[in-house]
C-alpha cells in the first residue's frame, strides 16, 4: 500500500434546506438509506483506492492487483483489528468474488508493495501502517437501479476514529468530506455485502471541506452574517456588493443587495440562468440554480432587501461548490431574521 499522507477535504451537490444545526450532508430526498453492508463495501474499496491513488475502475474492467491487495488489507484490518493477516488462495478467490464483479483472483509471485509478501503460497499482509492512515466512509445520496446493477452517487468522508459511523452521527467538527464519487454495484446474494463493485469514478479532492475552520463573515452594510470557505478572501467591496475570491482567482463568491422581491420575482431571475438544476424552498424564501460553472442563490425573505449569492468555479468542482452553496445558504442569517 505504501500510503501517502493525503489532505482529506470535502464533497457535494443536491442542495435542499437543512436546519442550521444539522450535519453538513446532502439531503436524501425520497431515496431510501443505503444498506449498512453496502456502505461497508464502499468504505473498504474506496479506502483501498485512496491508498493506491486510483481514481477510476471502468465498467467491465478487472481491478488492478494493487487495488485488490489494498482492499484485502483494509477488510482484514477493519474486520479483526489485526496488524498482520494471511490470505490463502481460497480466501483470496472468495474475497475477490465478494467485493468485485469483474476479474478473478490468482496468487501473485510477489506483492504490489513491500507490505505484501508471498510466503509458502499465501499472501501475508503487514497492516501496521493502517493504524496511522485515514480511511473513508461512504454516504450514498442517490441510487438508480438498472436490473441487477445500481448506479450510486456518493459522498466520501474521513472516518478516523469513526469507522462504521454514519456521517450524520459524526460531530461536525470531526467530519471532513473527502471527495465526490460515483459507483456501479451488482446485486449478489452470495456476497456478504449483498453487492459487488462493478465500476467507480472519483472526483477531485476538495479544497475547503473542513467546515470547522470556515470563517464567520458579518456585514454591517447589508445586515447579514454568513459562513464562508476559509480559502476565500474579500477582494472587492461596496456598500451593496461584496466579492470573495480564492488565491488563484479560479473561484469566487459574490453577495449582492437587491430591491425587495417576492417568490415570482426571484423565480424569474433564476429562470433566466442557463440550464441547470433548480431548487425552491418557500419555507425559507430561497430559490437556487446549480449549473456546471455557477450556482446562484436568491434569498427574498426580508422586507428591506433581497440577496443574490453567486458562486463561480471550475466545472470539475461543481459538486464541491454545490456543497459549499448548501452550507452558505443554510448559514445565511439576516439580522432580525434567520434563514436557517
- The label of the residue with cell 455557477 reads 294
Could you tell me which CATH number the domain at 214-334 has? 3.40.1000.10
Question: pTM of the predicted model, to two decimals?
Answer: 0.80
Question: 19 pLDDT exceeds 80?
Answer: no
Question: 18 pLDDT exceeds 70?
Answer: no
Digit-coded pLDDT (tens) for 123-176: 999 998 888 888 999 989 889 999 999 999 898 998 887 888 888 888 888 888
Digit-coded pLDDT (tens) for 262-316: 999 999 988 888 777 888 888 889 999 889 999 999 999 888 899 999 999 999 9
Give me the residues paired with residue 155 across strands.
139, 180
Mean pLDDT of 323-329: 86
CATH 3.40.1000.10 domain position(s) in the chain: 214-334
Q: What pLDDT, on the 0 to 100 scale, is given for residue 195?
A: 97
Q: How confident is residue 113, by pLDDT bands cut at 50, 70 and 90? A: confident
User: What SS3 class is residue 68?
Assistant: helix
Digit-coded pLDDT (tens) for 35-87: 889 999 999 999 999 999 999 999 999 999 999 999 999 999 987 777 889 99
Pairing label, strands 195-202, 215-219: unpaired
Q: How confident is residue 338, by pLDDT bands cut at 50, 70 and 90? A: very low
Question: 339 pLDDT exceeds 60?
Answer: no
Q: What pLDDT, on the 0 to 100 scale, is given for residue 278?
A: 81
Q: What pLDDT, on the 0 to 100 scale, is given for residue 244?
A: 98
Measured CA distances, 297 to 7, 206, 249 (Å): 29, 21, 20
Burial class, 228, CB count within 10 angstroms (exposed 0-12 / middle 13-18 / buried 19+): buried
Buried b (16+ CB within 10 A) or exposed e, 145-176: eeeebbebbbbbbbbeebeeebbeebeeeebb
**Cα separation, 103 vs 97, whole angstroms:** 8
Mean pLDDT of 211-232: 93
Amino acid at each position: 500500500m505504501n500510503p501517502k499522507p493525503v489532505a482529506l477535504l470535502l464533497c457535494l451537490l443536491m442542495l435542499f434546506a437543512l436546519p442550521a444545526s444539522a450535519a453538513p450532508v446532502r439531503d436524501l430526498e425520497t431515496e431510501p438509506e443505503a444498506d449498512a453492508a453496502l456502505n461497508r463495501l464502499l468504505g473498504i474499496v474506496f479506502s483501498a483506492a485512496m491508498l493506491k491513488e486510483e481514481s477510476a475502475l471502468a465498467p467491465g474492467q478487472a481491478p488492478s492487483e494493487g487495488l485488490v491487495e489494498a482492499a484485502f488489507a483494509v477488510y482484514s484490518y477493519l474486520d479483526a483489528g489485526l496488524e498482520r493477516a494471511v490470505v490463502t488462495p481460497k480466501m483470496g478467490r472468495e474475497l475477490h468474488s465478494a467485493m468485485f464483479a469483474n476479474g478473478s483472483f490468482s496468487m501473485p509471485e510477489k506483492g504490489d508493495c513491500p507490505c505484501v509478501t508471498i510466503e509458502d503460497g499465501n499472501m501475508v499482509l503487514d497492516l501496521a501502517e493502517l493504524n496511522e492512515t485515514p480511511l473513508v466512509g461512504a454516504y450514498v445520496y442517490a441510487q438508480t437501479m438498472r436490473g441487477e446493477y445500481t448506479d450510486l452517487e456518493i459522498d466520501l468522508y474521513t472516518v478516523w476514529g469513526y469507522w462504521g459511523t454514519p456521517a450524520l452521527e459524526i460531530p461536525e467538527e470531526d467530519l471532513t468530506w473527502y471527495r465526490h464519487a460515483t459507483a456501479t454495484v451488482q446485486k449478489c446474494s452470495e456476497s456478504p455485502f449483498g453487492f459487488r463493485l462493478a465500476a467507480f469514478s472519483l472526483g477531485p479532492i476538495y479544497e475547503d471541506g473542513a467546515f470547522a475552520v470556515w470563517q464567520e463573515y458579518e456585514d454591517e452594510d447589508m445586515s447579514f452574517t454568513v459562513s464562508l470557505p476559509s480559502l476565500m478572501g474579500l477582494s472587492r467591496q461596496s456598500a451593496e456588493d461584496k466579492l470573495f475570491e480564492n488565491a488563484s482567482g479560479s473561484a469566487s463568491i459574490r453577495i449582492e443587495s437587491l430591491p425587495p422581491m417576492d417568490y415570482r420575482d426571484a423565480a424569474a431571475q433564476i429562470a433566466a440562468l442557463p440550464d441547470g438544476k433548480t431548487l425552491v424552498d418557500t419555507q425559507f424564501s430561497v430559490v437556487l440554480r446549480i449549473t456546471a460553472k455557477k450556482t446562484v442563490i436568491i434569498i427574498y425573505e426580508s422586507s428591506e432587501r433581497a440577496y443574490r449569492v453567486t458562486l463561480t468555479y471550475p466545472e470539475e468542482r461543481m459538486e464541491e461548490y454545490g456543497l459549499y452553496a448548501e452550507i452558505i445558504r443554510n448559514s445565511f442569517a439576516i439580522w432580525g431574521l434567520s434563514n436557517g
